Amino acid sequence: MVGTSVLQYRIIRQLGSGGMGIVYEAEDTKLNRKVALKFLPESLVMSSEAADRFGREAKLAGSLNHPNICTVHESGLYEGRQFFVMELLEGDSLKTLIQDKPLPIEQILDVGCQIADALEVAHTKGIVHRDIKPANIFITTRGQAKLLDFGVATAGPEHMAEVTDGRTDLFSLGLVLYEMATGRQAFGGQTTAVVFDSILNRDPVPVLQINPAVPADLEHVITRALEKDRKMRYQTAADMLSE
């Protein structure tokens, strides 16, 4: 699609691709700015499930206005394929930055606070992200964290139930903090079943045992976020951010 014009957007180059989308850098010829266009892959155009997920991602992310959530400008159809337009980010994913090594304490705190603040806004609107992980957190060249990929998010009071509510995202944020602090995942395993068994029945290796440089107060935040009993975790993102 390089060189193609979609509405006022001239596609410059492909930035990346995944199972649920192909992302291009484009120029907005009306506003003279660079943007990113995300398209539903052609192979999934006939899948109603994929189309619903793609549309949900655009709608939910587009309904949120927060500096730590990637801005969605608009959505549309091009030759039968769904796409949406979002801000163009320069930097790397948090997953790329970690690379099996701990990050500086200041960066852990900064990124953790930014994402917790973004989640507070999302949860206030009844939106649960459900896929908080380093690959879905982008760090710009200026150090700003941006939350991406609302493809499996849920919205509305009917979804803020016991099984999946905002505390699910806070557990996942605890996993992200753990990985930033230690350079390794809290619950590892060769298969999904093994990982789930570890989450349900085992405690992770204490953060300080892996990285003694982590302040005890930060370890406390991570440990509380990873409580298996959700009633023992932070109840809101605002509570976690405050601590």
Catalytic residue list: 131
d(CA 195, CA 200): 9
d(CA 24, CA 83): 11
d(CA 121, CA 63): 11
d(CA 213, CA 181): 9
Q: How many CB atoms lie within 10 A of CB 161?
A: 10
User: CA dist 57 to 38, 50, 64, 75, 128, Å?
Assistant: 11, 11, 11, 10, 12
d(CA 101, CA 103): 7
